[in-house]
Structure 1
Amino acid sequence: MRSKLALWIVLFTAAIAVVFLTPKLGSSQSSPSPHRFIAQSPTDSSMPGMKMPEMTPSIAPQPQNAMLIDRVLLVWFSLSAIAVIYVAWDALTRNPELTVMKWGWILVTLYTGVVGAALYILSCQEPAPGEHEAFVRPLWKQTLGSTIHCMAGDATGIIVAAAITAALGLPMWLDVISEYVFGFAFGLLIFQALFMKDMLGGSYLKAVRRSFTPEWLSMNAVMAGMIPVMVILMSRDMTAMEATSLRFWGVMSLATLVGLVVAFPVNLWLVAVGLKHGMGTVRALGKGGHSLATERNRIATTSGEIPAPNASTDKAIHPASELDMSDREGR
């Protein structure tokens, strides 16, 4: 209870900071700079009769505005560090989630800061021992878990690619292609097929084949949210294209938040039709909070393939209960 109270205090502080800093940001941006008027002047009075080439105003932030942006980012990342520590502590010590989901939440919180921590508390943090199944049952929580799983792999691949291409000084079009390839590869080959292969048939190649289509659909939604944010903001401020710049990571954080929002409706449909699993643990995996054994039974029923048993989790395979099936059909 105390940990939740402390986190909500942090969130409230962050909200107040944003409320007070945003108007200052807007006013500093709206005030014209005298250098812009000089740059836009088509002639030079010191050289009569000679027409000077017209110069476009600089799109880089002015010094005062840039300092304010950097201060906001410092506050944001300081709060993000606290949020990551809290989520990591709770997920690794108290939450019965699958290991891949624990690290998924930690990574997404690293990218989205206090927003990710708030989503973790609202949708995944076990309220009391043994209550995780009932707590994660609503469809929106199942969908959010699926989206977080997707974002952990896709966003990580995109950010890694962006850092590499920025260090190499590659053009923007090649940067976008690299981010798409890296994001899809991280999401499909690592976070989906590798970490979930025991549940998806026991074979790595079978897991890749089974998760290819839903991961591709979800990945496209993530890219549709992240890429425009990155291209627009980085093209307006060249310092944001350097991986050593605080603004680079600020752009990545904002892009990940937008990608999460855009990917949520797609994952809602994927979970609802059974193409993706939702929030889950060994005790409760998938839509409706049913057991891991029930999830395997569902895969066998819908695809005709029988997933390979896993000694560490498959201790009691049993058919789906009426409650499990009614939850899935009703939602």
Structure 2
Amino acid sequence: MLDGMIILWTILTILSLIYVSYDLIFVTPNPYLMKIGWILVTMYTGVFGLFIYLLSCKEPIAQTHEEFIKPLWKHAVGSTIHCLAGDATGIIILAVFLSFFSVSIPFEITLEYIGGFAFGLLIFQSIFMKKMLKGNYFYAIRKTLFPEWLSMNLIMGGMIPVMVIWMILDPISKDPTSLHFFARMSLASIIGAFFSFFGNRWLVKHGLKHGMMTTRKDEKLETMKEMSHEKVSKAKLTLAMFLSFLGLLLGIAISIIFAMHFTA
């Protein structure tokens, strides 16, 4: 039963990926970093990613993308996609690498957190956002550190319970050559995206992250300094980061409770 569902999910994911990739290349005017983000996220989340793409990003009629993506929730989706694409990629790469070693679950999750955060910040955020942030890589790191960290905590808070519980119940899902591994990471990415959306909405609303964007042929990306920023108090920033860590700890706690109950 589970094998059949996983095979079906894999087929639907491949079809979703083909459609989204084609549409991004030939139809919807997204900047290249968002195109890459959507393709990666659709690869990880399958039909769910396709559904969200159709609702929030796909240009319904020619020359209407700018108007179509105006609602705040769509910008929050764009921010979430950008974050998930980097973080989940780092997490999955580490999961594949660690599958060749015998390591404890806590150690594996810790390394995946570090890997996801590092990949998301140093590659997907800073390199891809450099052109929007004065063209300076280290300045981009500094400007994206807080939003990336907050988003990462929420993504990992959602992903950890899924990854741990599924791995305990289905040990074969640790093997990256198995479709069970893909299914485990896919569900974890979906749950992580859901929890991260609310944090990204707050970040976009306060001008701390970009949202959905439109870039037509021969147009350049707008710079972050041209975007509207609100001054956010240190108290609000501290509270937001605290809540993100609370979400991370909640995910860890759920995993620990389940592991203790299962192994008791």
What is the TM-score of this pair, normalised by structure 1? 0.66
Q: Does 1:267 align with 2:200?
A: yes
Residue 227 (structure 1) shift: 0.8
What 5-or-longer segments of structure 1 have no aligned partner?
1-67, 284-290, 304-331
Q: What SS does the aligned partner of 1:194 have?
A: helix
Q: Does 1:278 align with 2:211?
A: yes
CA distance in structure 1 between the partners assigned to 2:222 and 2:88 by the alignment: 30
Higher relative contact order (CA 8 A, sep 6+): 2
From 216, 221, 227, the counterpart of 1:298:
227
Whether contact under 8 Å (1:167, 1:243) holds in the other structure is no
Residue 163 (structure 1) shift: 1.1
What 5-or-longer segments of structure 2 have no aligned partner?
233-264
Q: What SS does the aligned partner of 2:11 have?
A: helix
Summarize the Cα distance change of 1:167–1:280 in structure 2 as closer, same or farther, 3 Å threshold: same
What is aligned with 2:99?
Answer: 166
From 206, 210, 215, the counterpart of 2:148:
215
What is the TM-score of this pair, normalised by structure 2? 0.83
**Rg larger in structure:** 1
Residue correspondence of structure 1 range 303-322 to structure 2 within 5 A? none
What is aligned with 1:69?
Answer: 2
What is aligned with 1:86?
Answer: 19
Q: Does 1:148 align with 2:81?
A: yes
Residue 297 (structure 1) shift: 2.4
Supply the AA of the counterpart residue of 2:150: L
Supply the AA of the counterpart residue of 2:24: A
Residue 170 (structure 1) shift: 2.1
What is aligned with 1:98?
Answer: 31
CA distance in structure 1 between the partners assigned to 2:104 and 2:133 by the alignment: 38
> Percent of pairs identical after alignment?
49
CA distance in structure 2 between the partners assigned to 1:292 and 1:113 by the alignment: 28
CA distance in structure 1 between the partners assigned to 2:45 and 2:111 by the alignment: 22
Whether contact under 8 Å (2:206, 2:229) holds in the other structure is no
Residue 242 (structure 1) shift: 1.4
Whether contact under 8 Å (2:133, 2:224) holds in the other structure is no
How many residues are matched?
229
Which stretches of structure 1, 4 residues or more, deviate above 3 A after TM superposition?
291-296, 298-303
